[in-house]
Amino acid sequence: MLMADDKLHKGHAGISEHDQPGKLKRLLRFTAASWRLNLAGAMEFRFSFLLTVGSMIVNNIVWIIFWGMYFKRFPVLNGWTLQDVMMMWAAASGGFGIMSVFFGNATRLANLIATGQLDVYLAQPKPVLLNVLISRMSVSAIGDLLFAIFIFVGFGDVSPVGIVKFTAALLISGMIFIFFCVIAGCLSFWLGNTDGLSFQLFNALLVFATYPTAIFKGFGRLVLFTVIPAGFISSMPVSFIRELDLPFLYGALGMTALLCAGGILLFYRGLRRYTSGNMMGLRR
Amino acid sequence: MISLSKPAKYVFIGKITLRSQLAYVVDFLIRSVFLLLILYIFMQLWQTTFAGEGTATINGYTFKQMMWYLVFTESMVLATPSLSTRIEEEVKSGDVAFKLIRPVSFIAFHYAEYMSEVAIRYVINLILGSAIGLLLVGPLPVGIGLAWLPVMALGGFTVNFMLGMLVALSAFWVEETRGLEFVYNKILFTIGGMLMPLELFPESLQRIGHWLPFQTVVYFPARTAVGMHLGEISHALAIQWLWVILIGAMVWLLYRKGVRKLNVNGG
């Protein structure tokens, strides 16, 4: 594949980094190139691509129908309206979409570790965690991401402030999803194959993120703001998008930073314990 | 249709499937964590809803009945295997050629396999779901309806098989059928009454729901178990089996048409 910066490289055949783009810039280019190739791969089977994306949108629409019927019968649910629930779905499916489209290996980390499939990434001169995460794209999740945008346009506040708030909510939600899954996946470094357990943890986060936080009380609510931080995603419509609740925002940002740092730290700590198998792997 | 004459062989097919399924009970139990999760969430949701309404019943359902209704619907839906995946694979790999030359009916073979698989999964789900139900909301007042649950569930699973087969048989024409099955399952979730009893639907949607076969799959059995009047049960059974005959005939026609069109490569 011809890269945009190939011309630039031609003049510098040596190993000198003089006049080369900076480290960050190179990483960004690498990430963008990975995403582009992933998407090109997914688009190879056009019909299958459309069918997968479409069925994921249908899946989400079913929940919209359910909540639509629910709110027709019971107009308010502990202070939550239909619009809040819609925005909650947008935040959750958007965050999940960001993770699965751009960092698609996050949910497969446990399996990659347990089966020794990290070898191929270790041999490449790129940050291991980033390289692992971005090298897969879930096609169906494109439907989730599109769905989030449709819902926002249909039910959200499409003003400049509204758009900024929604984008911020999506980014926080996405980060929580990614690094929660990284941490859940990293358990494999210590506990052997935790494929099932890691999946159940991720599933719990996803399921809890799609129900109004207002229905949970006591211990259940505590869990949602600590061990399974789905509460920071599902509360977005009420505590951040509708009206700004500063303590909630600080909590959400703090949790995101904690998960992010914890995930990276755990991964590189675990990597020291990583033992590969004899599986042969190859990447272009 | 060939060789429907000896029911004994279908009983054996069922027995073999049952045995192979028993080997995966532990694996199935682990996957049942999802059942626990979803029932816990719905308990919270309906608790809040009942508190908000301030009434003991909502459209004739008490909180306990609502929760047990969900135990029955979720247990059924989570017990159903994917027919589309199975038949699509058979067609793609060419295995279908071996199935077709056996002296057993293709549809009846799949029915025997499906029902025995469903039976074991459903029983496990019911045990687990009931344990969760007992723990979370207490026992369901035992009524005559509960005794009718196995009969209703048999009919429900049969309609589900027939509808699933209609979708799966389209694999004889098109390559991808799983997307279609996905949509069918979602119809079952909503208009089929898996997530919410039909009584809670808006009037117009309720009327549409009563004219469609989807209500017979999970709504009828679950509604029967949580307390349907005896008179309603016979009516529901009649509707259920009418749909079995109707959709069964459609499956038979589709199969006859499809099997002539099918081209098998490999196998």
Cβ proximity of B231 and B159 under 8 Å = no
Neighbours of A248 (CB within 10 A): 17
Please report the pLDDT score of residue A7 as a whole number: 42
Of A55, A203, A214, the CB nearest to B34: A203
Q: How far apart are the first and last CA of chain B?
A: 22
A101 touches A145 (CB < 8 A): yes
Pick the more confident residue, A74 or B18: A74
Q: Does A48 touch chain B (CB under 8 A)?
A: yes
Mean local confidence (pLDDT), B215-224: 94
Backbone phi, then psi, for B128, in 5-degree steps? -65, -50
pLDDT value of position A243: 87
Question: What pLDDT band is residue A6 in, cutting at 50, 70 and 90?
Answer: very low
Name the percent of chain A lying above pLDDT 90. Answer: 61
pLDDT at A15 over 80: no
Which residues in chain A are closer than 8 Å to B176, comparing Cβ atoms? 47-48, 51
Report the range out of A36-50, B181-195, B211-225, B226-240 with the highest average pLDDT: B211-225
Q: Assess A222–B contact: CB distance below 8 Å, yes or no.
A: no
- Pick from A193, A200, A209: which is nearest to A255 by CA? A209
The answer to whether B183 and B205 are in contact (CB under 8 A) is no
Burial of A229 (0-12, 13-18, 19+ CB in 10 A): buried
B156-171 per-position pLDDT tens digit: 999 999 999 999 988 8
The whole-chain average pLDDT of chain A stands at: 88
pLDDT at A127 over 60: yes
Residue A59 to residue B41, Cβ atoms within 8 A? no
CA distance A207 to chain B (A): 8
Mean pLDDT over residues A188-204, rounded? 89
Cα–Cα distance measured from residue A248 to residue A239, given in angstroms and rounded to the nearest whole number? 7
Residue of chain B whose Cα is closest to the Cα of A61: B186
3-state secondary structure of B165: helix
Min Cα–Cα distance to chain A from B76, Å: 19
Kindly state the tokens that stand for B176.
């991808």
Q: How many Å is the Cα radius of gyration of chain A?
A: 21
User: Considering CB atoms only, which of A55, A61, A211 is closest to B41?
Assistant: A211
Contacts of B264 (CB under 8 A, 6+ apart): B91, B94, B96, B97
pLDDT on residue B170: 86
Q: Are A220 and A136 in contact (CB under 8 A)?
A: no
Backbone angles phi, psi at A158, to 5 degrees: -90, 55
3-state secondary structure of B95: coil
Domain boundaries, chain B: 7-261
Distance from CA of A126 to the nearest CA of B (A): 36
The top-scoring range by mean pLDDT among A53-62, A190-199, B56-65, B151-160 is B151-160
Which of A60, A74, A205, A206 should be substituted to probe chain B, the one whose Cβ sees the most B Cβ atoms within 10 Å? Answer: A74
Domain interval for residue A121: 22-273
pTM of structure: 0.84
Distance from CA of A208 to the nearest CA of B (A): 8
| Residue A20 contacts B where some CB pair is shorter than 8 Å | no
Cα distances (angstroms) measured from residue B198 to each of A44, B35, B66, B72: 43, 21, 12, 15
pLDDT band at A269 (very low <50, low <70, confident <90, very high): very high
Instruction: With CB atoms and an 8 Å threshold, state whether B45 touches A215.
Output: yes
**Mean pLDDT value across chain B:** 86
Helices (H) and strands (E) in chain B, counts: 12, 2
Nearest-angstrom CA–CA distance, A39 and A242: 34
Q: What is the pLDDT of residue A50?
A: 84
A chain contacts of residue B182, beta-carbon cutoff 8 Å: 55, 58-59
How many C-beta atoms surround the C-beta of residue B83 within 10 A? 23
Q: Which residue, A168, A166, A164, A140, is CA-closest to A155? A: A166
CB contact under 8 A, B37 and A203: yes
- At how many degrees (to 10) do helices B63-77 and B33-53 cross? 150
B135: left (phi over 0), alpha (psi -120 to 50) or beta: alpha
Whether residue A284 has pLDDT greater than 80:
no
Residue A11 has pLDDT above 80, yes or no: no
> Tens digit of pLDDT for each residue in B2-22?
555 677 878 888 888 777 777
**pLDDT of residue B49 exceeding 90:** yes
User: What domain count does chain A have?
Assistant: 1
- Say yes or no to pLDDT of A281 above 90: no
**Unique residue bearing structure tokens 């089977």:** A45
The pLDDT > 70 percentage for chain B reads 93
Question: Quick check: B190 contacting A, CB < 8 Å?
Answer: yes
pLDDT at A47: 79
Examine the pLDDT at A92 and tell me if it is beyond 50: yes
- pLDDT class for A8, splitting at 50, 70, 90? very low
Lowest mean pLDDT among A49-53, A162-166, B35-39, B234-238: A49-53
Give the C-alpha separation, B198 to B220, whole Å. 10
The tens digit of pLDDT for each residue in B192-211 reads: 999 999 999 989 989 999 99
To test the contact with chain A by mutation, choose from B28, B186, B188 the residue with the greatest count of A C-beta atoms within 10 A, namely: B186
- Contact predicate B41/A211, CB 8 Å: yes
pLDDT band at A280 (very low <50, low <70, confident <90, very high): low
Is residue A284 assigned to a domain? no
Give A62's contacts in chain B (Cβ within 8 Å): 186, 189-190
Out of A48, A76, A207, closest to residue B176 by CB: A48
Between B94 and A147, the more confident residue is A147
Q: With bands split at pLDDT 50, 70 and 90, how would you rate the model's confidence at A249?
A: very high
